[in-house]
């Protein structure tokens, strides 16, 4: 069996919808700011080796979760193509209930499958402390853990394996509450009508503040340079087309840039403008001396 090793946490099929005429993505990596804006093919971004592989006791990798994501992406890809084509062709797309379920499922998974989300809910810096607490609790309830076993459990490689399997385990389970919250909202197809375009980030889903079930809480997911999904309000059966004003496009892009380690788009000029606003915002937030 050919075991997939390169796992895209933002699907390649989604990244391809943000390329320029040469098929390139222009991107900025906050971890290497000295390199400035770079260009690459979609398959080279938002990818990590064995991100969704569970490490078994014999050291082998279980890639069931990655295969499940690949299957979801395969079903979602033609749906997104139709949504983009309809929006840009001034047609209101028809979205039957089964199609809506696929879209909701994709949006739900895209919210939680990215490394930035994992780090937020399970910080690397806190992992050792949590494992120590778990060992102490085990000893309190059952028996003493041998010193050698405790030492092995607290090795960096063991901690990373624990984090890996905990992440895969969490992603293998679903939250009916979150799915119900998305399903309760209206799905709006948002499009740009000017030269401005949406970006794709390493954390591409933007959620406004507030509880997800609250009708006032918005969820945005760009699915193309000129089209985004917008969850808002209470559910309507027919998805309207919404022409996004320029200031909203800029605000959405700025939010994606702020929450993502890497953000990309179809033009270097777009990325440069977002970097400029990001630096300005960061500078204004710094304390004055």
What would the pLDDT profile of 55-87 be if each residue is shown by its tens digit? 998 889 999 999 999 999 999 999 999 999 999
Residue 223 pLDDT greater than 90, yes or no: yes
Top pLDDT among 71 and 283 is at: 71
Quote the distance between the C-alpha of residue 104 and its chain's center: 14
Q: What's the CA gap between 69 and 12, in Å, rounded?
A: 12
User: Which residue carries 């309830």 as its tokens?
Assistant: 141
Q: What's the CA gap between 270 and 196, in Å, rounded?
A: 8
- Residue spans of alpha helices (H) in the chain: 12-15, 64-88, 97-112, 115-121, 124-141, 147-153, 156-171, 176-183, 246-259, 268-285
Q: How far is CA 122 from CA 131, 218, 280, in A?
A: 12, 25, 30
The pair of three-digit structure tokens given for residue 55, joined into one six-digit string: 């490490």
Residue 254 pLDDT greater than 80, yes or no: yes
Kindly indicate the confidence band of residue 286, based on its pLDDT and cuts at 50, 70 and 90: very low
The pair of three-digit structure tokens given for residue 104, joined into one six-digit string: 């909701």
Q: What's the CA gap between 267 and 231, in Å, rounded?
A: 27
What mean pLDDT is reported for the chain?
A: 92
Residue 37 pLDDT greater than 60, yes or no: yes
pLDDT value at residue 240: 86
């Amino acid at each position: 069996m050919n075991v997939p090793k390169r796992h895209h946490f933002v699907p390649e099929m989604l990244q391809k919808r943000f390329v320029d005429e040469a098929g390139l993505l222009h991107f900025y990596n906050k971890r290497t700011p000295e390199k400035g804006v770079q260009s690459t093919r979609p398959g080279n971004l938002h990818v990590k080796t064995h991100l969704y592989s569970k490490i078994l006791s014999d050291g082998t990798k279980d890639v069931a979760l990655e295969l499940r994501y690949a299957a979801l992406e395969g079903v979602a890809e033609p749906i997104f193509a139709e949504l983009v084509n309809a929006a840009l062709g001034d047609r209101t797309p028809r979205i039957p209930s089964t199609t809506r379920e696929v879209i909701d499922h994709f949006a739900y998974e895209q919210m939680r499958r990215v490394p930035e989300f994992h780090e937020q809910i399970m910080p690397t810096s806190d992992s050792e402390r949590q494992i120590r607490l778990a060992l102490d609790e085990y000893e309190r309830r059952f028996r003493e853990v041998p010193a050698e076993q405790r030492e092995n459990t607290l090795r960096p490689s063991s901690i990373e394996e624990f984090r890996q399997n905990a992440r895969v385990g969490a992603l293998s389970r679903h939250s009916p509450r979150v799915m119900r919250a998305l399903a309760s909202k209206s799905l709006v197809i948002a499009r740009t009508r000017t030269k401005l375009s949406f970006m794709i980030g390493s954390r591409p889903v933007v959620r406004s503040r507030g509880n997800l079930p609250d009708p006032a809480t918005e969820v945005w997911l760009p699915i193309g340079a000129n089209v985004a999904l917008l969850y808002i309000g209470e559910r309507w059966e027919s998805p309207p087309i919404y022409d996004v004003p320029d200031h909203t496009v800029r605000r959405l892009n700025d939010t994606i840039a702020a929450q993502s380690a890497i953000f990309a788009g179809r033009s270097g000029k777009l990325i440069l403008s977002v970097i400029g606003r990001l630096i300005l915002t960061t500078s204004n937030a710094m304390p004055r001396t």
